[in-house]
């Protein structure tokens, strides 16, 4: 009995996400995608309209997963500084099974400058992450956890930019001690 297409598609998108995350869009060939997904070339093109379509689905999968995790953390109980520390340490101490860096940051650099669809997807993703962090910081400010003179939106942008910078640095080979020191400086600014 054949596997349902939805199962194949979900598995293929996850596998393609990891391939694109590791090598980037341009450097990931159709053959690389076949190897990663276990699908043949015709199956890939029967399931997805193009390499770009598969990349877009993989990027959405990545952002949906990451934003769900962030939303859960930010909505949970506990001091906002601990929540921000958790977010920073996701970049300092990522899952060793994941490729280095961040698929979003990679796509921002590689594709967004010349691909309006990807640029729009990434802009919406960034806005979502900033809003999740801003909301948590604003609530903490109202509870007196954060100095009333600090701007929650500016802090949310700062946290997001710091996480992106940490991921780029990690991908570039920066050691854990330096990444921790950067994260600690950022945490002190909150």
**Residues near 112 by beta carbon (within 8 Å), at least 6 away in sequence:** 118, 119, 122
Tokens of 150: 């600090």
How high is the pLDDT of residue 165?
96
Q: Tell how far CA 136 is from the center of its chain.
A: 19
The predicted structure's pLDDT at residue 148? 93
- What was the pLDDT predicted at 10? 85
The per-residue pLDDT for range 4-32, each reduced to its tens digit, is 555 478 888 999 999 999 999 999 999 99
Contact 16, 62 (CB under 8 A): no
Tell me the three state secondary structure of residue 133. Answer: helix
The predicted model gives 43-56 an average pLDDT of 89
Under 8 Å CB-to-CB from 49, ≥6 apart: which residues?
A: none
- The band of 107, judged by pLDDT with boundaries at 50, 70 and 90, is very high
Give the residue-averaged pLDDT of 67-78. 96
CATH class of 56-189: mainly alpha
pLDDT band at 1 (very low <50, low <70, confident <90, very high): very low
Domains of the chain by residue range: 56-189
pLDDT at 101: 87
Where does the pLDDT of residue 47 fall: very low under 50, low under 70, confident under 90, or very high at 90 and above?
confident
Q: How is 35-77 classified by DSSP, letter by letter?
A: HHH---HHHHHHHSS-HHHHHHHHHHHHHHHHHHHHHHHHHSS
- In this prediction, residue 41 carries a pLDDT of 86
Least confident of 58-62, 64-68, 100-104, 115-119: 100-104
Percentage above 90 pLDDT, the chain: 82
Phi, psi of 151 (to 5 degrees): -90, 115
**For 135-183, what is each residue's pLDDT tens digit?**
999 999 999 999 999 999 999 999 999 999 999 999 999 999 999 999 9
What mean pLDDT, rounded, does the chain reach?
Answer: 93
């Amino acid at each position: 009995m054949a596997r349902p297409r939805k199962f194949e598609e979900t598995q293929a998108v996850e596998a393609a996400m990891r391939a694109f995350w590791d090598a980037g869009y341009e450097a990931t060939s159709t053959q690389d995608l076949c190897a990663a997904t276990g699908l043949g070339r015709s199956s890939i093109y029967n399931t997805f309209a193009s390499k770009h379509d598969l990349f877009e689905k993989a990027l959405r999968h990545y952002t949906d997963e990451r934003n769900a995790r962030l939303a859960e953390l930010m909505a949970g109980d506990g001091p906002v500084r601990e929540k921000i520390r958790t977010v920073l340490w996701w970049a300092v101490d990522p899952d060793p099974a994941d490729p280095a860096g961040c698929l979003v940051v990679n796509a921002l650099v590689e594709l967004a400058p010349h691909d309006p669809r990807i640029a729009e997807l990434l802009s919406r993703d960034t806005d979502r992450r900033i809003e999740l962090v801003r909301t948590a910081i604003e609530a903490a400010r109202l509870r007196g956890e954060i100095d009333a003179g600090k701007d929650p939106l500016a802090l949310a942008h700062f946290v997001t930019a710091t996480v992106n910078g940490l991921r780029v640095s990690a991908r570039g080979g920066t050691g854990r001690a330096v990444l921790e020191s950067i994260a600690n400086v950022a945490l002190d600014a909150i």
